[in-house]
Amino acid sequence: MVEKKSNLENWKINALKELKKKNLDGLIIETPEGISIKPLYTALDIENINHLDSLPGEEPFLRGPKATMYTGRPWTIRQYAGFSTALESNQFYKKNLASGQKGLSVAFDLATHRGYDSDHERVRGDVGKAGVAIDSVEDMKILFDGIPLDQMSVSMTMNGAVLPVLAGYIVAGEEQGVSIEKLSGTIQNDILKEFMVRNTYIYPPEPSMRIVSDIIGFTSKKMPKFNSISISGYHMQEAGASLVQELAFTIADGLEYIRAASKRGLLVDDFAPRLSFFFAIGMNFFMEAAKLRAARYLWSIWTKKLFNCQNIKSQMLRTHCQTSGASLQEQDPYNNIIRTTVEALAATLGGAQSLHTNSFDEAIGLPTPFSAKIARNTQLILQNETGITDTIDPLAGSYYVESITKEMIEKANELIEKIEEMGGMTVAVIKGYPKAEIEKSATKRQARVDSGEQIIVGVNKFQSESQDKIEVLDIDNNAVREEQINKLTNIKNTRNNKLVQQALDNIKDAAKNNSGNLLDLSIIAMRERATVGELSYALEQVYGRYGVKQEIVKNIYKETYLKKEDFIKVEDALSKFKDIAGVNPKIFMAKIGQDGHDRGAKVIASAFIDFGFDVEIGTLFQTPSEAVDMAISYGVHIIGISSLAAGHKTLIPELINELKKRGADDILVVCGGVIPAQDYNFLYDAGVAAIFGPGTAIPDAASTTINKASEQLMRMHNYRKSRTNN
């Protein structure tokens, strides 16, 4: 020990000489997780770590849930795909499977997530734009046509309309000749995280948890190869959560699902081995690998502590990972290939059991076949060319990795304990605690990026003079919707409507009386050709459709932003606006369509308040008409539209036309988010005053918006003046 300390002191002396400094404090990096990263780790840092002697396949499973891990079988290669129609998605799947993909990860469109059929008025701009449109069993049958469901593991991301979607998949398997017990894969169905970040919920928290419990109960008894739920930290990180928040809230979600299922009379060891987890893997390479190791440890410890599991498999955390959507950038898009590779490597060194790699164009639109091939080959190269699969947990024993694994365990534990003290995650979600914490973290991150503290190559440093043009997948929303409506009409004309209504009534009764199993009853309804929208509405009549008041965090962005001089141009613009208008600029932040990703809108709203704007924020899932109603009632100067899910070409022009109809076209319209550059002229022609793509620094967006609003006010003033004079 003395010798080790002495050696460390010698290193410090040498380091100070090299740097010509009095201390080494400047080399310590503070992470958003509150972990201090030292420039050097030694044997001293791991002397008091109690998990170092653990082995893979043994409690607490930190080194992996399987004894042999990749040496026995490499991780499963997945490709997340789904767009437009079931037929197009099916053709895409078949090509990928023929090229080395091993499992399907299905993305459904937002209308489907939210439990609307494609003919519903609220989803005119959403159908087929961000995933595959599914209205019935007939769509499911087309989606999986020629794909043997007794051989193919299918992962599905679905939360709101989880009952009809899962039931539709089961019935599609039946009608393919595959019995229910042979189906394998997972359905995400992590509704708690929806209330925190992604917002593709339908019903309130308590009935939503009842739905999850029924699915766990059904699948654990009748579908031995199918995971009952995939508990998702991925969307938390995507929404701006720190790694510790993602880790802690995901584990806390899992504990809550065990608690909810137990309350329905299920035995923990009958279903807990079937729970799986889904994490994002971002660019902080070593911390991401440490996060997966910490997650397995925490799950093992907490399940034993709270539920006294007797089956050791109940303590094993199974991990699916996806390279981060938040790290993908529109600028210099080919850089995303490198980002995806680094993240995939971190996931595999952390012990992911299945992995989806993002395509480089997913910051702009849905993946093209070309980009999907590169993403898939990234994993094939890692599996077959790097030697990663030759040994188990190669990072074990690293002074640095073991040290930060321990720190992440400790910090995540603190958060989990806080949530448990509240009464569990359902209570915490209703109180809004995790959502508020993630939004604070997201706002801080954006401030660090905008001020250059956090470097993103090609965005805020090392920018290219010109941008590479890349192919962007463009979906004809109107054509897809028309095709879906035609299929819906045909289904309703050829089915036995009496049997459909009886099946839907049975579902309503079970929901009212807290009786039966809702998935079991949903399967019966889907066999009779009930639609996704009809089944969802049957439950909505009992449970209601959930909505939350949008809250805005304050005094976070400005406090975190380092380059305070950037605020001067915003203040100058504000001063000029006030000289014209006599008041601060007032903006209405709108989310229109069924896209529930609200990080961008929330961060902008928070920053703009800190700059001096008066900010109103709309409810989620508004129609253009509803957004205009609210904007006019608030008396705003500007409407800011946050777009992510490709509905901008349909919904934004509709909103501008609504303003014209109401004589409110003096309200300036600006928009931002994931909008491909080739769509900019279309939106400008439609009347959009400014577009702020991904990577735009918020102070720049603020000053531009204010100046545009000032110009608009002057134009209106001069117009009214000339009209009066005439």
Highest mean pLDDT among 132-141, 146-155, 362-371: 132-141
The strand pair at 76-81 and 36-37 is best described as unpaired
Contact between 435 and 195 (Cβ < 8 Å): yes
Q: What is the pTM of this model?
A: 0.93
The radius of gyration of the chain from alpha carbons, rounded to an integer in Å, stands at: 26
Average pLDDT estimate for 249-264: 94
What's the pLDDT at 457? 95
Angle 423-598-439 (CA atoms, 0-180°, nearest 5)?
50
504-543 confidence digits (pLDDT tens):
999 999 999 999 999 999 999 999 999 999 999 999 999 9
235 pLDDT band, cuts 50/70/90, is very high
Report how far apart, in Å, the C-alpha atoms of 511 and of each of 12, 134, 158, 621 are: 67, 24, 20, 25
CA 562 to chain CA mean position, Å:
28
- Tokens 């469109």 belong to 109
- Tokens 């009549």 belong to 541
d(CA 347, CA 657): 47
Q: Which helix (H) or strand (E) holds 187?
A: strand 184-187
d(CA 558, CA 562): 8
Collapsed DSSP state (helix, strand, coil) of residue 321 = strand
541-599 confidence digits (pLDDT tens):
999 999 887 889 999 999 999 888 888 999 999 999 999 999 999 999 999 999 888 88
Indicate the range of 253-257, 372-376, 631-635 predicted with least confidence.
Answer: 372-376
d(CA 644, CA 591): 9
Can you list the positions of beta strands (E) in 516-560? none
Identify which of 598, 614, 606, 602 has the alpha carbon closest to the alpha carbon of residue 560: 606
Choosing from 113, 129, 444, 597, the catalytic residue is 597
Collapsed DSSP state (helix, strand, coil) of residue 184 = strand
3-state helix, strand, coil in the chain (%, to 5): 55, 10, 35
Cis peptide before 60 (omega within 30 of 0): yes
Contact between 628 and 665 (Cβ < 8 Å): no
Percentage of the residues of the chain whose pLDDT score is greater than 90: 75
Joined tokens for residue 226: 């199918």
Choosing from 393, 595, 598, 679, the catalytic residue is 595
What's the pLDDT at 129? 82
Joined tokens for residue 624: 């253009």
Contact between 534 and 115 (Cβ < 8 Å): no
Q: Which helix (H) or strand (E) holds 560?
A: helix 557-560
Is 115's pLDDT higher than 80?
Answer: yes
105 pLDDT band, cuts 50/70/90, is confident
Is 723's pLDDT higher than 60?
Answer: no
> Exposed e or buried b for every residue in 543-580, given b needs 16+ CB within 10 A?
bebbeeebebbeebbbebbeeeebbebbeebbeebeee
Tell me whether residue 116 is one of the annotated catalytic residues. no
Report how far apart, in Å, the C-alpha atoms of 515 and of each of 96, 183, 214, 279 are: 42, 26, 10, 34
What's the pLDDT at 264? 85
1 pLDDT band, cuts 50/70/90, is low
Report how far apart, in Å, the C-alpha atoms of 259 and of each of 210, 216, 414 are: 11, 12, 20
Is 21's pLDDT higher than 60?
Answer: yes
d(CA 378, CA 367): 15
81 pLDDT band, cuts 50/70/90, is low
Choosing from 235, 440, 444, 586, the catalytic residue is 235
Identify which of 31, 28, 47 has the alpha carbon closest to the alpha carbon of residue 39: 28
Contact between 584 and 716 (Cβ < 8 Å): no
Report how far apart, in Å, the C-alpha atoms of 422 and of each of 303, 418, 428 are: 18, 6, 6
Average pLDDT estimate for 248-264: 95
Collapsed DSSP state (helix, strand, coil) of residue 100 = coil
Specify which residues 587 forms β-bridges with: 615, 638
Tell me whether residue 591 is one of the annotated catalytic residues. yes
Average pLDDT estimate for 452-474: 86
Collapsed DSSP state (helix, strand, coil) of residue 318 = coil
What's the pLDDT at 726? 46
Tell me whether residue 169 is one of the annotated catalytic residues. no
- Tokens 């958003």 belong to 32
| 666 phi, psi to nearest 5 deg | -80, -10
CA 408 to chain CA mean position, Å:
22
Tell me whether residue 595 is one of the annotated catalytic residues. yes
Collapsed DSSP state (helix, strand, coil) of residue 295 = helix
d(CA 544, CA 570): 43
Joined tokens for residue 84: 């437009």
Joined tokens for residue 572: 């100058």
What's the pLDDT at 279? 97
What's the pLDDT at 82? 65
Is 451's pLDDT higher than 80?
Answer: yes
Collapsed DSSP state (helix, strand, coil) of residue 586 = strand
* Alpha-helical segments (H) within 127-230: 137-143, 162-175, 191-193, 205-222
State the average pLDDT for the chain.
92
What's the pLDDT at 295? 98
Choosing from 51, 66, 70, 80, the catalytic residue is 80
294-328 confidence digits (pLDDT tens):
999 999 999 999 999 999 999 999 999 999 989 99
What's the pLDDT at 471? 77
Angle 7-9-12 (CA atoms, 0-180°, nearest 5)?
115
Is 155's pLDDT higher than 70?
Answer: yes
d(CA 160, CA 187): 12
* 523: CB partners within 8 A, 6+ apart: 167, 170, 171
Choosing from 234, 257, 400, 537, the catalytic residue is 234
Report how far apart, in Å, the C-alpha atoms of 457 and of each of 243, 339, 634, 685 are: 21, 10, 40, 32
Q: How many other C-beta atoms are found inside a 10 Å radius of the C-beta of residue 265?
A: 8
Tell me whether residue 80 is one of the annotated catalytic residues. yes
Contact between 677 and 627 (Cβ < 8 Å): no
Choosing from 591, 602, 648, 708, the catalytic residue is 591
